[in-house]
Amino acid sequence: MAHGIVPPYLLRHLSELDRDDLRAATEAAHRTLLAPSPPRPAPRTALPESPRTVAPTSPDRTISDAAGAETLPGDVVRREGDEPTGDLAADEAYDGLGATYALLAEVFGRASIDGAGLPLLATVHYGQQYDNAFWDGEQMVFGDGDGQVFGRFTASLSVIGHELAHGVTQHTAALVYEGQSGALNESISDVFGALVEQHSRGQSAAEASWLIGEGLFTDQVEGSALRSMKAPGTAYDDDVLGKDPQPATMADYVDTTDDNGGVHLNSGIPNHAFYLVATALGGHAWDAAGPIWYDTISGDLPATATFEQFGAATAAAATARFGDGSREHRAVREAWSTVGLSIGDTDTDPAGPAR
């Protein structure tokens, strides 16, 4: 499963349960794992035209309904400017695409996820009790969940922002989806998922939950979300799902070949670094921390960047935007130190502050 919000190890665990009371969840997880994998975006061959040359206007959204099939895109049920359909999933998807567009346009001056006004497409009601949501390189796809462990995947705004952010990364840094660069790919999506939710709600860094996938679990699950950026490893602790395995620091880094080298696990480390920067600076996370991360992925970042390279690039981006020795620069360096990485500034060009 490429770029799905639910990690494959969690779906595998559910699919192997032998409990009559969770039969629906077990069968749904098994079907989700066997469903056709979305194609991975092609590797970047050249940087796209700078998004600063295209002025954001308004989103161009189309929502389709797969009606339980696994064929995309399905039948169109709502286009840009149409009235709500009354279908909760379709209307949540429409609103979530709009909230993501608003963050990119209003904060980063970016016209849609490609920086050139790309139409935003989404399909709801994909598959039978499909336990995931994903970005397939061209559009968003949402399942309805199994009803026992997972509810509908449009219910969490951070999920919608997370998956669309894979499209932003695809059109900027194009980080290779394995190992540390893959964990960074996942982390950047979590960062932007959190920013979309906070921006939509007008929350400060202190007010925000910093949860990714809040609202996905049913009330049968002892857990608040899929991941916590504030405290990786604490998002859930359930007798069925087990305990959230994400590390918060390099001391607990997971060395594995599973999940493309632990991309959904080790993303907790850069996630926590971003949280530390945002809360140290205070105010809205999209005012300083968000632009530093955006400048980093918009610059000349290696597609196979390690955590250390990425951390150094964020420090350089903070210097370029706010000045050497600024509180923003210090907050970045201190955050990476806290998660166990000693970084120095780099010659990597962060592309300067977004206009």
Better-predicted residue by pLDDT, 338 or 44: 338
Asked whether residue 235 is domain-assigned, the answer is: yes
At 60, which amino acid appears?
D
pLDDT digit string, tens, across residues 286-330: 999 999 999 999 999 999 999 999 999 999 999 999 999 999 999
CA 95 to chain centre: 17
Q: Is 264 a catalytic residue?
A: yes
Q: Provide the CATH number for the domain around residue 314.
A: 1.10.390.10
Average pLDDT over residues 21-36: 88
Instruction: Considering the candidates 162, 166, 171, 264, report the single residue annotated as catalytic.
Output: 264
Using the predicted structure, report yes or no on whether residue 255 has a pLDDT greater than 80: yes
Beta pairing partners, 175: none
Using the predicted structure, report yes or no on whether residue 202 has a pLDDT greater than 50: yes
Asked whether residue 128 is domain-assigned, the answer is: yes
pLDDT digit string, tens, across residues 65-87: 999 999 999 999 999 999 999 99
Average pLDDT over residues 348-355: 40
DSSP 116-175: S-PPEEEEES-TTT---EEE-SS-EEE----SSSB--GGG-HHHHHHHHHHHHHHTTT--
Using the predicted structure, report yes or no on whether residue 47 has a pLDDT greater than 70: no
Using the predicted structure, report yes or no on whether residue 246 has a pLDDT greater than 50: yes
Using the predicted structure, report yes or no on whether residue 40 has a pLDDT greater than 60: no
Task: For 112, list phi and psi in degrees, rounded to 5.
Answer: 70, -175
Q: How confident is the model at residue 55 (pLDDT cuts 50, 70, 90)?
A: confident
Q: Is 163 a catalytic residue?
A: yes
Asked whether residue 2 is domain-assigned, the answer is: no
Structural domains counted in the chain: 1
User: Considering the entire predicted model, what is its pTM?
Assistant: 0.91
Q: For the CA atoms of 258, 170, 305, 281, what is the dihedral angle to 10 degrees?
A: -100
Asked whether residue 117 is domain-assigned, the answer is: yes
Average pLDDT over residues 171-186: 97
Q: Cα separation of 81 and 192, whole Å?
A: 25
Instruction: Considering the candidates 3, 162, 163, 186, report the single residue annotated as catalytic.
Output: 163
Using the predicted structure, report yes or no on whether residue 156 has a pLDDT greater than 60: yes
Average pLDDT over residues 247-264: 96
Q: How confident is the model at residue 35 (pLDDT cuts 50, 70, 90)?
A: confident
Q: Cα separation of 308 and 180, whole Å?
A: 9
For position 18, what pLDDT does the model report?
A: 87
Asked whether residue 345 is domain-assigned, the answer is: no
Average per-residue pLDDT in the chain? 91
Asked whether residue 343 is domain-assigned, the answer is: no
For position 226, what pLDDT does the model report?
A: 97
Domain that holds residue 92: 8-338
Asked whether residue 1 is domain-assigned, the answer is: no
Asked whether residue 158 is domain-assigned, the answer is: yes
Residue percentage of the chain with pLDDT more than 90: 84
Average pLDDT over residues 42-59: 59
For position 54, what pLDDT does the model report?
A: 77
